[in-house]
Amino acid sequence: MKEPDQQTLARLLLSIKPPKGAPKKRRPLTPIQVARCLQDWIKQTSKDEVAKRLGLKRTEMLREFLSLLRLPPDVQTLFEDWKVGIDKGYRISLLDAADDQRKVARAILEHNLTSSDVRDIVSLKKMNPEMPIEECIRKVVASKKKVKYYVVLTGIDEDTLLALQRRCKQCQCQVKDLIRKLIQEILTEPNGIIELEMRGKLIKITLTPTAFKDINEKAKQLNVILDDLVDKLARDWLCGKR
């Protein structure tokens, strides 16, 4: 279809952007139905055009809905209503193994996991591929009972990394140290970064709650998603915008 008819478009809008305070159960389409409708529409045009027609500033919300279709059918049932946020579905979809996806989905229900918890589990698995997903879940669930830190798994584009490596060679500094400095500059507390690990283009940052709030606010200010914030900070630094 080139574009949904007016009735379908209205149902899409009410499901994706319901009036403030509207009950979730009143949304006319389920998340999976929204995802399938968006998928068919995007095939005939583009994500940017669909986002524009729906009044969305960015395509990230479309990406989150579409990610639900990559989940096993039994995991998709978790998102047949709006009780579990689609951002959790997107995080689950980042796991390679369907069995791992199923186990994290069950853990969401069993342990009442937040979106941050799911992100932490996925981050832990990505950084430690050999670690069983059950152990990743156990560690994150156990950490909820202790001092709360936030783990952000992000990265930078290959071109950005190469440019940073060239610049750091001139400055005689390490890329990892530069990235830590760029992140620290946007934080309101001096010790907000608990740990920063870097493996190639992949970056894992452990933050205090205040620091996590700071980087989320900075991402909104720069109009980027959290996953792309470090790349944006690095590119701005390379362009002399800092």
Higher pLDDT, 194 or 133: 133
pTM above 0.85, yes or no: no
Region for residue 174 given its phi and psi (left: phi exceeds 0; alpha: psi -120 to 50; beta: otherwise)? beta
User: Is it the case that residue 104 has pLDDT exceeding 70?
Assistant: yes
pLDDT value, residue 145: 67
Q: Longest C-alpha distance within the chain, in Å?
A: 61
Domain 151-238 has CATH 1.10.405: no
Helix axes 86-93, 60-67, angle to 10 degrees: 70
Query: Which whole number is the average pLDDT over 73-81?
Result: 89
Res. 116 pLDDT band, cuts 50 70 90: confident
Residue with tokens 């205090």: 208
Query: Which whole number is the average pLDDT over 80-93?
Result: 90
pLDDT value, residue 25: 62
Res. 219 pLDDT band, cuts 50 70 90: very high
Q: What is the pLDDT of residues 20-52, one digit of tens each?
A: 766 666 788 999 999 999 999 999 888 898 888
Query: Which whole number is the average pLDDT over 83-89?
Result: 90
Least Cα distance to 78 among 116, 104, 39 occurs for 104
Cβ burial of 145 (10 Å; 0-12, 13-18, 19+) is: exposed
Distance, in Å, from the CA atom of 241 to the CA atom of 222, rounded to the nearest integer, reads 12
Q: What percent of the chain has pLDDT over 70?
A: 95
Res. 17 pLDDT band, cuts 50 70 90: confident
User: Which residues, 6 or more positions from 4, have their beta carbon under 8 angstroms from its beta carbon?
Assistant: 12, 37, 41
pLDDT value, residue 201: 87
Q: What is the pLDDT of residues 140-161, one digit of tens each?
A: 998 776 667 888 888 899 999 9
pLDDT value, residue 163: 92
pLDDT value, residue 190: 83
Residues 149 and 208: beta-carbon distance below 8 Å: yes
Residues 80 and 31: beta-carbon distance below 8 Å: yes
In the chain, what are the domain boundaries? Answer: 1-70, 72-146, 151-238
